[in-house]
Structure 1
Amino acid sequence: MTLINWLLLVLLGTIWGGSFMFAKVAIAEIPPLMLVFLRVLIAGLALHVVLRARGLSFPRTPKLLAAFLIMGLLNNAVPFSLLFWGQTEISAALASILNATTPIFTFMIAAVLLGQETVKLHRISGVLVGFAGVSLMLIPTISGIGHDPLWAQAACLGAACSYGLAASFARRFSDLSPLISATGQLTGSSLIMLPLAIWSSAGWSPADVSVHVWLNVLALGLLATAAAYLIYFKLLSEAGATSASLVTLIVTAAAVLFGVTLLNESLTAYQLGGLAFLLLGLLILDGRILKHFSR
């Protein structure tokens, strides 16, 4: 990768790491499902503006619109809802660590369930090491000595699994412009979340939300979703999917840093140990570090 690509990768990881902080601040005053709706609506509208500015038309064929709904469900509506729901009880740092299992679930779904990936020894080893890290993080809760609810941590793992399903489903959009795919899924998830947001927000009023929180909502929609997609697509086109996948490691590091320094969060020894195992598992799963040492 070029220096510009590396800088974009770090920028993207920092932005997506910041999304956990933006969400943690926002859910203090906005119901989780309403926050999901606001995030995808703001981002979707922004990308429609970008589409129009670039002279691209939004497809309207029924088959493609249905695919956008499914992709919006798997890649936005479900994972965002689970992450925000989980963050009502656990820290942004811990949520980001659990969400870093996404590449593991992606490989398991693509290789084991769908046969889209080749099963190799280093990938199996990476999965086992990664899940060892997750198990280590869950030990305090399961044994009764931890304070982070199991359901909240399971919700974040469920979000990672949904991202894995979305990654496999997204293969059908390979012939479509990534910008159109992103706009389509955000449009679909906005339609899905609208009734759920209204249903879950009885008694809530936008007037009760502080300016500080609204700024975090805008950052979540415009910066951490719309702008982040544009950066990600540029990386995909210039550096490839394998190099772009390194963003997972940066996201976790940035989210932990923001959580500890700006939100005064802390991680237990079990969580730090689990993070170390998980990151090692991701490096083994990726395989490039093994090729480097073998050379």
Structure 2
Amino acid sequence: MSAPVSRSRPAARLTPAVLLCLALVYVVWGSTYFGIKVAIGSLPPLGMLAARFLGAGALLYAFLRWRGVPAPTRREWGASAAVGLLLLGGGTGLVTLAERDASSSVAAMVLAVSPLFAALFARLWGERTGGREWLGIGVGLLGIALLNVGELRATPLAAALLILAPLCWTFGSQWSRRLPLPAGLMGSAAEMLAGGVLLGLLSLGLGERWTEPTAASLWALAYLTVFGSLVAYSAYMYLVAHTRPALATSYAYVNPVVAVLLGVGLGGETLTGLGWGALGVILTGVVLVAWPRPASVTAPTTENPGAVQAPGAEA
């Protein structure tokens, strides 16, 4: 049965559920940039992602079916494939390909344009972005520009892929709120399964070859599958359905902080004094974006036929 037509109002307050999901997306996804870098050290990029999402999606799908959650309809599978292609193929896939020639820190920093793209795409469907949110986006982008000054650079091709990635990701995120996706966590499971199949086909089509992986790559793949996909992806889809676009994508400002700290601490990257100052600017932008709006200026109610329900609602 298709997801029911419902009215969804972006959250005006930082509820405990929203705060928990923000923390998971901020910290876990910040660490996945370093995890991806380790994983593709001996694994093919798109093939690794296919294994990651197929594994996570299959585990979640099997658990939900065991708990009696209905299987997606044909219409819901089609919507899940569209979202999976944009988010997991175009978003995560392009980032992974870019990390062959870019550091994990650079990958996270360039993707900080996501809140700006999210706000622009949201306006296509009549949602508003407040003045303080625009200010926070501007401050965050200023911090990203400062952070890119120095030795943290990428090749032109990698930079282009990293610009295309948030375009795919944010458009898919906003579109997903209006598609007939399966309710609850079944939506995340279907998107990961569909996205994993598409990534696997791309890997085969591009002729990627598998060689004997290192232990570090296998551990990184396991971490990406469980925490990056099962945990953080489901938390993000909750934010997409229940918060403002600028807040749902504010992870893009915190992820560079986590990615840089891991890159410096574990990956041998360096950061200048200007870079550390830029982190403070980035966090200021996050505060401006995340600070709750007054109820009187909350975005108006809109029709949302494919609203993603709270994770755990059916689990």
- In the superposition, the TM-score normalised over structure 1's length comes to 0.79
Unaligned runs of 5+ in 2: 1-13, 295-315
**Post-superposition offset of 1:277:** 4.5
SS of residue matched to 2:172: helix
Shift of 1:78: 0.8
Structure 1 residues 139, 119: CA separation in 2 closer, same or farther (over 3 Å shift)? Answer: same
- Counterpart of 2:116, as a letter, is I
**Matching of residue 254 in structure 1 with residue 258 in structure 2:** yes
Hey, what's the Cα distance between the residues in 2 that align with 1:210 and 1:17?
23
Seen in structure 2, the aligned counterparts of structure 1 residues 183 and 280 have a Cα distance that, compared at 3 Å, is same
d(CA) in 2 for partners of 1:64 and 1:175?
A: 5
CA contact (8 A) 1:103 1:282 kept: no
Across the aligned residues of Structure 1 and Structure 2, the Cα RMSD in angstroms comes to: 3.2
Counterpart position of 1:241: 243
Aligned residue number for residue 64 of structure 1: 76
Question: Matches of 1:151 and 1:283 in 2, distance apart?
Answer: 32
Higher percent of residues as helix: 1
Residues 1:121 and 2:139 are matched in the alignment: no
1:185 to 174, 187, 191: 191
Separation in 2, partners of 1:123, 1:210: 44
* Aligned residues of 1:123 and 1:285 also touching (Cα < 8 A): yes
| TM-score, with structure 2 as normaliser | 0.75
Q: 1:45 aligns with which of 54, 58, 72?
A: 58
- Secondary structure, aligned partner of 1:29: coil
Q: CA deviation at 1:218?
A: 1.6
Give the CA deviation at 1:287: 4.7
Q: Given the alignment of the two structures, is residue 155 of structure 1 paired with residue 157 of structure 2, yes or no?
A: no
Q: Residues 34 and 200 of structure 1 are in contact (CA less than 8 Å); yes or no, is this contact kept in structure 2?
A: no
User: What is the match of residue 81 of structure 1?
Assistant: 93
Q: 1:209 maps to which residue?
A: 213
Q: How far does the alpha carbon of each residue in 1:189-228 deviate from its partner, in whole angstroms, 9 at most, with x for none? A: 12211221113344x234x211221121121112210132
Distance 1:18 1:47 in 2: 22
Q: SS in structure 2 opposite 1:101?
A: helix
Displacement of 1:283 after TM fit?
3.5
Tell me which of 2, 7, 18 is aligned to 2:31: 18
Aligned counterparts of 1:10 and 1:121: Cα–Cα separation in 2? 25
The residue type equivalent to 1:227 in the other structure is: V
CA contact (8 A) 1:34 1:201 kept: no
Mean Cα displacement is larger for which, 40-49 or 125-134?
A: 125-134
**Cα separation, 2, equivalents of 1:126 and 1:77:** 29
What amino acid does structure 2 have at the position aligned with 1:52?
A: R
Supply the AA of the counterpart residue of 1:265.
E
- Choose 154-163 or 73-82, whichever is displaced more: 154-163
Letter in 2 for 1:55: G
Residue 116 of structure 2 corresponds to residue 101 of structure 1: no
Is 1:266 equivalent to 2:276 in the alignment? Answer: no
Determine the structure 2 residue equivalent to 1:194. Answer: 200
**Structure 1 unaligned runs (5+)?**
none
Bigger mean CA deviation after superposition, 153-162 or 245-254: 245-254
- 2-structure distance, mates of 1:253, 1:46: 30
- Partner of 2:43: helix, strand, or coil? coil
Identity percentage over the alignment?
24
Residues 117-161 of structure 1, C-alpha deviation per residue, up to 9 Å, x if partnerless?
214333333344444445555677xxxx97521331332232222
Equivalent pairs, count: 279
Assess, with a 3 A threshold, how the Cα gap between structure 1 residues 10 and 209 changes in structure 2: closer, same or farther. Answer: same
Q: Is 1:229 paired with 2:241?
A: no
The answer to whether the Cα contact below 8 Å between 1:79 and 1:162 also exists between their aligned partners in 2 is: yes
Question: Which deviates more from structure 2 when the two are superposed, residues 173-182 or residues 38-47?
Answer: 173-182
CA gap of 1:124–1:254, structure 2 versus 1, over 3 A, is: closer
- Check the 8 A contact 2:144/2:282 in 1, yes or no: yes
Question: Within 2, Cα distance between the matches of 1:178 and 1:198?
Answer: 31
